[in-house]
Amino acid sequence: MLRLLAVVVIASLGAFGTAHAQRIVAVAPLSTLDAEDTSASTKKLTGQLEAAIAALAGTKVVSSAQVADAIKKAKKPGLKSCEGDTACLAELGRLVGAQVVIAGQVGGLGESKVVYLGATDVASAKELRSTTLAVGAKEDPNGPTGAVIRLLDPDKYRGVLHFAIDVTGATLYVNGSKVGLSPKGDLALPVGTQAVRVTHPEYRDFVRFIDVPFGKTTDVAVGMTQYPIIQRDIQGNPINRDKVVYVDPPVWRRWYVVGPAAVGLAILTGVLVGVLVHDLPDTPCRQVGGAKC
């Protein structure tokens, strides 16, 4: 009996812990011009948002209809249109027992509309994140599911690039940071345009700007172009086979012969010049033979 009671208590504690860990998200009625939007298209969009929230692991959704009923029972009509006020949205969340409240404004004319969505943390009464969602003629390609992921689980708002690189030993950089690929060549990246560069010492860089869509795998074929002359060719043996032969000059052209001879000639020339200059008279005229100056 005691063992059965212990099992029941443990099971109850486990169930309480699971329920306590579950995230509860309330969807406030979407509004237009600060009034609740009851159009068919907005009701459809609200249902899509609620379905996307419920699909998140560990998340329970409080629908817009349930929120409206709670406001009516509490007799607090002011909570129907908080107009983005976080204190008002936090009070609404406490009313329905939610940790996060998603609210939004619908804008635009005709078939093209833009919904401005925000997620408010009930405990702190502060906005966690915000995003926009295009509906109608120019719909957001990621739809309500993408908007919900951006608001509640932004780290999961990613796509996958599958790289097929035609050389081994290449290095991959994304937005200037070195990254590694999975064994299959896959890399998960945030949604948006990413700067990709593949480098190899023997090949020209492969540089591309690639758009990463949400929840999809994009193939990237990387074709590397080899340099005409690579570093290993420059460091190899020279291809010139010419033989260089050094021949000694004749004896009279060698430095140890030409040097002393030049010095001796210079000394002799100096002596002769000195003698000739010494023999010159003081007068500008010199007697030659019997002639007189």
pLDDT in tens, 20-78: 468 999 999 888 876 777 788 888 889 999 999 999 999 999 999 999 999 999 999 88
Average pLDDT over residues 132-138: 80
Residue 8: what pLDDT? 38
Residue 222 domain flag: yes
Is residue 172 located within the same domain as residue 122?
no
CATH of the domain at 214: 2.60.40.1120
Contact predicate 119/149, CB 8 Å: no
Is residue 205 located within the same domain as residue 168?
yes
Average pLDDT, the chain: 81
**Strands 59-62, 100-107: pairing kind:** unpaired
Is residue 118 located within the same domain as residue 175?
no
Is residue 33 located within the same domain as residue 124?
yes
Cβ neighbours, 10 Å, residue 139: 13
Q: Which domain holds residue 91?
A: 19-156
236: confidence class by pLDDT, cuts 50, 70, 90:
low
Backbone angles phi, psi at 224, to 5 degrees: -90, 140
For the chain, the domain total comes to 2
Residue 113 domain flag: yes
pLDDT exceeds 80 at position 101 = yes
Is residue 227 located within the same domain as residue 117?
no
Q: Is 279 left (phi over 0), alpha (psi -120 to 50) or beta?
A: alpha
83: confidence class by pLDDT, cuts 50, 70, 90:
confident
Burial class (CB in 10 A: 0-12, 13-18, 19+), 58: exposed
Residue 100: what pLDDT? 96
Residue 255 domain flag: no
Average pLDDT over residues 100-124: 88
Residue 254 domain flag: no
- Look at 280 and 165; give whichever has higher pLDDT: 165
